Amino acid sequence: MAINLPAYAGDVRVWFAQLESYFSAKTVTEQRQLHILFSAFIASLTPVVKDLITDTPPHATYNSIKREVLLRTSVSAEKRFQTLVHDELLGDRMPTELLRRMRELAENVPADRAFIKQLFFSRLPPQVKAILAPMLEKHPIDEIAASADKVIDFTKGPTTAFIPHPQAAASIYSTTTRDASRDATSVAILDAIECLAREVSKLNMGRPHSPRRHYKSRSPS
């Protein structure tokens, strides 16, 4: 009987999860699971698992071999933490994508939720942080990330070439701050963005400037 095992896409944890899903779908016994695992190991992992296959420990099971493989292939917690703190930036990704990656790096490392939230917020562009600042204290990180996606989508539009007058921007920020006093929600933030869009639209239409009058200075008598 042909066995169609999941293809390896570069993530050992994901591959094991897919393999176990296959076991459940086909009702594979525990003893057969270990033999299928040995026959399905990816070529790139051969140097890592060679001794486990050729000199299998006594009483080895699928789960015990899986734990050993994950231990050998996983990055140390210290290195993951250093990557999280120093190297993981927003770049071309959307904020929700950055958040998923930060959570992946934060798995089993010494970082609490408040730290991850502050670190994530610090990686957002300055204009996004200015708009979403009222949400930081009271709203969960997932809502902040989703709102940041919408703000960035908006700023990628054609109106980004125009900059509102400072007084208009201050008025918009003031509106957002008042909303925060009523436990600001992501809907209120989006309302602020729509207000910004209307201000920018007014600037796009432009207003004719009244010509300045020039007066000749009188020569001294």
Give pLDDT, residue 64. 92
The DSSP result for 138-158, as a single string, is TS-HHHHHHHHHHHHHHHTSG
Amino acid identity for residue 57 in this structure: P
**111, 135 in Cβ contact below 8 A?**
no
- Interval 210-221: pLDDT, tens: 444 444 545 554
What backbone torsions phi and psi does residue 216 show, to the nearest 5 degrees?
-80, 135
Give 173's contacts (C-beta < 8 A, 6+ positions apart).
130, 131, 192
Length of the chain, please?
221
* Mean pLDDT for the stretch of residues 175-190: 49
Would the pLDDT of 146 be above 90?
Answer: yes
Q: State if pTM tops 0.85.
A: no
Query: Residue 19 and residue 5: Cα distance in Å, rounded?
Result: 7
Map tokens 């899903």 to a residue.
21
- Interval 100-145: pLDDT, tens: 988 877 775 656 788 889 999 999 999 999 999 999 988 999 999 9
Would the pLDDT of 21 be above 90?
Answer: yes
